[in-house]
Amino acid sequence: MSRNLTHTWALFEKAKRFIPYGVNSNFRYWGDRDTLVVTRGEGAHIWDADGNRYIDYRLGFGPIILGHGYPPVVERVAEAIRQGTLFAFTTPLEIEVAERIVRMTGVDKVRLCNTGTEATMHALRIARAYTGRERFIKFEGQYHGAHDYVLFSTASSLPAGLGSRRSPINMQLSSGIPEGIRHYVINLPFNDFERLEETVEARWHELAAIIVEPMLGNSAGIMPRPGWLEKIRQLCERYRIVLIFDEVKTGFRIANGGAQEVFGVRADLVTYAKALGNGFPIAAIGGREEVMMVIEPGHVIHVGTYIGNVTGTAAAAATLEILETQPIIETINRRGRLLMSGLGEILNEAGIPHFVTGLPPMFGFILGTEEEPADFRAYCRGDGDLYERLAMALIERGVMPDPDGREPWFLCYSHTDEDIAETLTVFEKAVKDVKRKT
């Protein structure tokens, strides 16, 4: 079976004339033949330029928590922007969003940002200003955005470049990063208690922060081992290091209170973005009073012309109100559980070794191994090529995960039981097809 992609290909050719590689973010480039041009979305579905419909599990890399074009959010935004879009003054909408974030997550204070990148960049600055130290620990396979400090040993790194577990190498992800930047980051394997303890004990006096995705939202949703987040918390406490939870993917998705609620561990700073605005650009840094109050005008910089813009802030106000007052995450969890277990059963029946990772609103699976992955290195032992072939067979049939197995499947409130049933039927066919061709 094959889709008609005539218009999509013609539009993509045109895109390449004006936009480098035809995409406005490198992660969207799937090659000249496979990169789609999408014209609209509604609920849990999107359509390409040829009118092919897909049940969407990419959800724009995770932000869509309610559904595409979700009417109550769109209406609140439309109503708000009729009265202006940007004032560079505090607005009642900003106060409403901050108050809701405080109530839902338990942080003391909130500053808004526009993107996850901005949020993690500012969070690291706040941590440095608070501690007077410069270095930070992150974990391999985590992605914290596109600023220079964090573009080392992310989920896009080649495992061969990471060095040994005993002495991991900071693998630089991009040209164009000044040489000296690598000096500030220390990458360690996720879930490695011994390596973490040893590193913190030897270098705590240099460490401003430990930044962690509480579950690996950029490496198939690998989960923290029992006690892992508590261990990080303990070490941060003991050595006065700022613990930053990067909840850009988990925030307002795995629970209203995000990973702090699910795992029962509190951070000093938390970065939010994605689900906060159901697809509108908005992000936030939340945190403990004492740490957040270092953002003192004239002393520690947190600024941005578009911060608090009416469009994103109205979207966040509407999204958070819906999350607070309706059983959104419970419903997503229920449907996600059906999907996770259904996919697992089909893979079992087909005799394909696999391990399903993550939580129902945001999960992944690794093929070619039954070992529970503890870190990015273990993820890389799976069969990424097989995953990609399976994903492409699904996309061909109208079910849209990201073809890259590191990117989780995301669910939203608009996925119905029928969508899940259709996905499982398509998945079964795609598995058979891929097995036949292997």
Ligand X SMILES: Cc1ncc(COP(=O)(O)O)c(C=O)c1O
Which span (173-181, 245-253, 369-377, 382-390) binds ligand X, by CB under 6 A? 245-253
Q: Which is nearer to ligand X, 258 or 397 (CB)?
A: 258
- Is 218 a binding residue for ligand X by CB under 6 A? The answer is yes
| Helix, strand, coil fractions of the chain, as percent rounded to 5 | 45, 15, 40
| CA 20/CA 86 separation, integer angstroms | 30
Which span (39-47, 174-182, 225-233, 241-249) binds ligand X, by CB under 6 A? 241-249
| CA 68/CA 74 separation, integer angstroms | 10
Helix (H) / strand (E) containing 271: strand 269-272
Q: Which of 246, 268, 375, 419 is catalytic?
A: 246
Q: Which is nearer to ligand X, 248 or 380 (CB)?
A: 248
Q: How far is the CB of 50 from ligand X (least distance, A)?
A: 28
| CA 315/CA 319 separation, integer angstroms | 6
- Is 251 a binding residue for ligand X by CB under 6 A? The answer is no
Q: Which is nearer to ligand X, 275 or 310 (CB)?
A: 275
Which of 248, 270, 322, 347 lies at the binding interface for ligand X (CB under 6 A)?
Answer: 248
Closest CA to 138 of 122, 126, 120, 125: 120
Q: How many residues bind ligand X (CB under 6 A)?
A: 15
Using only C-alpha atoms, what is the Rg of the chain?
21
| CA 335/CA 331 separation, integer angstroms | 6
SS3 (DSSP) at 434: helix
Q: Which of 138, 274, 379, 402 is catalytic?
A: 274
Q: Which is nearer to ligand X, 143 or 387 (CB)?
A: 143
Q: Which is nearer to ligand X, 144 or 377 (CB)?
A: 144
Which segments of 143-259 are extended strands (E)? 185-188, 207-212, 242-246
Closest CA to 214 of 183, 259, 151, 171: 259
- Is 365 a binding residue for ligand X by CB under 6 A? The answer is no
Q: Pattern of binders to ligand X over 61-100, x per CB under 6 A?
A: x---------------------------------------
Residue nearest to ligand X (CB): 116
Q: How far is the CB of 271 from ligand X (least distance, A)?
A: 7
- Is 157 a binding residue for ligand X by CB under 6 A? The answer is no
Q: Which is nearer to ligand X, 48 or 246 (CB)?
A: 246
| CA 25/CA 241 separation, integer angstroms | 33
| CA 385/CA 367 separation, integer angstroms | 9
83: exposed, middle or buried (C-beta count within 10 Å: 0-12, 13-18, 19+)?
exposed
Q: Pattern of binders to ligand X over 197-216, x per CB under 6 A?
A: ----------------x---
Catalytic status, residue 143: yes
Which span (102-110, 177-185, 246-254, 381-389) binds ligand X, by CB under 6 A? 246-254
Q: Which is nearer to ligand X, 115 or 199 (CB)?
A: 115
Catalytic status, residue 29: no
Catalytic status, residue 435: no
* Other CB atoms within 10 A of residue 254 CB: 28
Q: How far is the CB of 340 from ligand X (least distance, A)?
A: 20
Which two three-digit tokens encode residue 385? 């090529």
| CA 332/CA 430 separation, integer angstroms | 24
Which residues, 116 to 155, sit near ligand X by CB under 6 A? 116-117, 120, 143-145
Q: Pattern of binders to ligand X over 267-306, x per CB under 6 A?
A: ------x---------------------------------
Q: Which of 57, 143, 149, 413 is catalytic?
A: 143
Q: Which is nearer to ligand X, 389 or 406 (CB)?
A: 406
| CA 173/CA 143 separation, integer angstroms | 11
* CA–centroid distance for 368 within its chain: 24
Which span (227-235, 243-251, 299-307, 382-390) binds ligand X, by CB under 6 A? 243-251
Assess contact for 283 and 98: CB atoms under 8 A. no
Q: How far is the CB of 402 from ligand X (least distance, A)?
A: 11
Q: How far is the CB of 52 from ligand X (least distance, A)?
A: 26
- Is 115 a binding residue for ligand X by CB under 6 A? The answer is yes
Assess contact for 413 and 334: CB atoms under 8 A. no
Q: Which is nearer to ligand X, 145 or 308 (CB)?
A: 145
Which of 246, 268, 402, 419 lies at the binding interface for ligand X (CB under 6 A)?
Answer: 246
| CA 436/CA 438 separation, integer angstroms | 6
| CA 15/CA 37 separation, integer angstroms | 9
Kindly report the backbone phi and psi dihedral angles of residue 408, in degrees, each rounded to the nearest multiple of 5, phi listed first: -65, 165
Handedness of CA 177, 180, 183, 185 (dihedral sign): negative
Distance separating the N- and C-terminal Cα atoms of the chain: 17
Catalytic residues: 143, 246, 274
Which spans of this chain sit near ligand X (rule: CB under 6 A)?
61, 115-117, 120, 143-145, 213, 217-218, 246, 248-249, 273
